[in-house]
Amino acid sequence: MKHPILRLTPPLLSALLLLSSCGAQNTQATPSAAVETAAQTAESTAAAIDTQALFSDRDLAGTYDESAAIPIQLNGDSASCASDAVTIEGSRVILSSEGVYLLSGTLTDGQIVVNAGKSDKVQLVLNGVDVTSATSAPIYALSADKVFLTLADGTENYLANGEEYVAIDENNIDAVLFSKTDLTLNGTGSLTIQSPAGHGVVSKDELVITGGSYTITAANHGLSGKDSIAIADGSFTITSGKDGLHAENSDDPSLGFLYLAEGSFSVTAQGDAISAAGALQIDGGTFDLHTGAGSASVDLSSSEDAFGPMDGGQQKSGVVQSETTAAEPEADTVSQKGIKAEGSFTIAGGTFTLDTVDDGLHAGGEALITGGTFSLRSGDDAIHSDAALTIQNGSFTIPYCYEGIEGLSITVDAGTFDITSSDDGLNAAGGADSSGFRGPGGQSQDTFSSGTDSFILINGGEFTIVSTGDCVDSNGDLTVNGGTLDLTCNGSGNTALDCDGTYTNNGGTVTTNDGSEQNPGQMGGGMGGRGGLRGNPGTQPSGAPSENGDRPQPPQDSAQEAPSEA
C-alpha cells in the first residue's frame, strides 16, 4: 500500500516581484503591513500533492489480456467457472488467488468476494454484468494487495444493493462496491451503481479512478476513499444523500487528500459535492456541482436588513435560511459546500459551474487558484479560505452570494471578476471580525484566528463589483498595485472601499460610486457622486488629510449614518 507524501512547491514569487517594483514608485512611503506580510507569504512555500506517485502504469492502462483471463459466467442465482482459484457457494463467488477474472452475466442477490493473499493483485473485468445483493455489497474486496475493477470496452454494467446492509463479518460493509484494500477503477465501459441504504463506492485505503463512465445514486457518499481519492479521468454523474466525493482519514491528518487531474463531474449532493479532510488539488476537468436546494433556497439579507449596523467587532450581517429552517433545524449543521478541503486547496484549471447552499469553494488552509473558468452561485461565500487566499488568474462570474471572495488575506495577480454580493465583494477578515460568518439559518460558520495577517493586495485583474456591503473590505491594509476596479456600493452605511489599515494605490484604476477611493470607509455607500483615481502612489490612509490640509468629509446627507465596519 503506497502513501503519496506531500511535497513542497517552489515559492510563489510573482507577488514579491510586483511589490519590489511598487517600492520604486513610492520610495518615500514606509512599507505597509500588507506589503511586508505579502512579501513574507511570497517567500513561504505551499504544500501540494505529489501527483507523480498517484497512478501506476497498470492503473492508467485499463486493459487486460483476455487469453490469460479466467472466465466466470454468472447465471442468475448461481455461477460457473472451471478454475480452482474460484469457489462458488450458491450465488456467492469467491476469488482466492492473484489473476485476471472476466465476469459476464447476471447474479441475483449474490456477491463477488475477493479474498486473496496480502501481496496478490486481482483484476476484475466487468464484461456486461448485473449483480445485486439484497443485504450486502455486490462486490466485496476483503483481502489483496490491490484490486483493479476494469470496465470492458463498450459494455454496460450494473451493481445494486437492497435497502439494508447486514453484517457478514467483523467489517462494516456499507457500500455497493466495498474494498478493504487499495482499489482502482478503470477501463472504457460504463457502470451504474444503486445504493439506497449506504455509499456507492468505498475504499478503506486508496481509491484511484483513471477512466470509465459512472452513474451513482447513493443514500450516503457517492465515492469515498479513506486514505485518498485520485482521479485521472472519467465521466461521473452522482446523486448522493451526503457528499458526492469524500476523502477522509480520521487517524492520519496527512492522508484523506483528494486529487482530480481531469474528468467530467455532475454532482447533486445533500452534503458537500466534493470534500477532502486533507489537501485538495484540481488540475482540470468540467464540474457541474449542486448542493442541497441550491443558493436560491437561502435568503441573503444585508447587514442592516437582518441585524442593523453593528460596531465594535459585533455581529455585522447574516444569511437567513428560507422556508425550510424552522421545519428542519438539524439542516443547520450539514455542510453543503461545493468543493471543500480542510487542508490546503489548489486549483490550476477547469470549468466550474456551482450552485450551493454553503460556500462554493472552501479551504480550511491556504488556497491557491492559478486558472480556470468559474460560475459560482452561493448562499454564503462564493470563495472562502480560513488562511491566505491567492488568485493568480482565472475568470470568475459570481452573480449571487453573501460574500464574493473571503480570506484571512487576499492576493490577486490577474483575472476577471464580475461579482454581485449581498455583503462584501472582497473581504479580508481577521481577529474579532464577524463579517461573512453567517450561514444558512443564520448560524455561525467561518472563523479566523486573531492576528495581523489580514490584508488585500491587488496586483492586477479586472473587477466589476456590485455590493450591498463594502465592495472591497480589508481588516488590515488595502494595496492596489495594478488592475481596474469598477465598484458600486448599494448599502447605506457601507462603502465601495473600506480598510482598517493603510490604503495605497500604486497604479491601479479605481472607480467608485461614492468617492471612497479618496478616503476608504468614510463615506456612506452609494451616496456620493461617481469618482475615480488612477495611478496615485501613496494615497492617504483612511481619515488622512487631503492635499489642501483638510480632512475629507462624507456627503452631507449621509454624515449621520453609522460608520462602516471592516
332 confidence band (pLDDT: 50, 70, 90)? low
**266: pLDDT strictly greater than 60:** yes
pLDDT at 446: 58
- The β-bridge relationship of strands 361-363 and 339-341 is parallel
123 confidence band (pLDDT: 50, 70, 90)? very high
pLDDT at 429: 85
pLDDT at 448: 57
pLDDT at 521: 65
pLDDT at 312: 31
**10: pLDDT strictly greater than 80:** no
Cross-strand bridge partners of residue 373:
351, 395
What phi and psi, each to the nearest 5 degrees, are found at residue 143?
-150, 130
* Tens-place pLDDT, residues 396-418: 999 999 999 999 999 999 999 99
Three-class DSSP category at 67: helix
351 confidence band (pLDDT: 50, 70, 90)? very high
49 confidence band (pLDDT: 50, 70, 90)? confident
When the pLDDT of each residue in the chain is averaged and rounded to a whole number, the result is 81
How many Å apart are CA 516 and CA 50, to the nearest integer? 45
Cell (9 digits) for 148? 483493479
Which is more confident, 28 or 286? 286
Can you list the alpha helix ranges (DSSP code H) found in 31-124?
33-43, 57-61
Would you say 166 and 132 are in contact if contact means Cβ atoms under 8 Å apart?
no
- The fraction of the chain above a pLDDT of 70, given in percent, is 73
**98: pLDDT strictly greater than 70:** yes
Which is more confident, 541 or 204? 204
Average pLDDT over residues 345-367: 97
User: What type of residue sits at position 21?
Assistant: S
**541: pLDDT strictly greater than 70:** no
Average pLDDT over residues 489-508: 91
CA distances from 499 to 278, 454, 455, 521 (A): 33, 10, 9, 6
What phi and psi, each to the nearest 5 degrees, are found at residue 15?
-65, -40
How many Å apart are CA 532 and CA 283, to the nearest integer? 38
pLDDT at 566: 32
How many Å apart are CA 159 and CA 180, to the nearest integer? 18
- The fraction of the chain above a pLDDT of 90, given in percent, is 70
Average pLDDT over residues 46-62: 87
Three-class DSSP category at 306: helix
- Cα dihedral: 437, 441, 443, 447 (round 10): -20
pLDDT at 130: 98
**315: pLDDT strictly greater than 70:** no
pLDDT at 308: 37
User: What type of residue sits at position 320?
Assistant: V
Positive or negative: CA dihedral 76, 82, 83, 85: positive
pLDDT at 324: 33
pLDDT at 493: 78
Cell (9 digits) for 65? 489480456
The closest of 339, 252, 251, 346 to 51, measured between CA atoms, is: 346
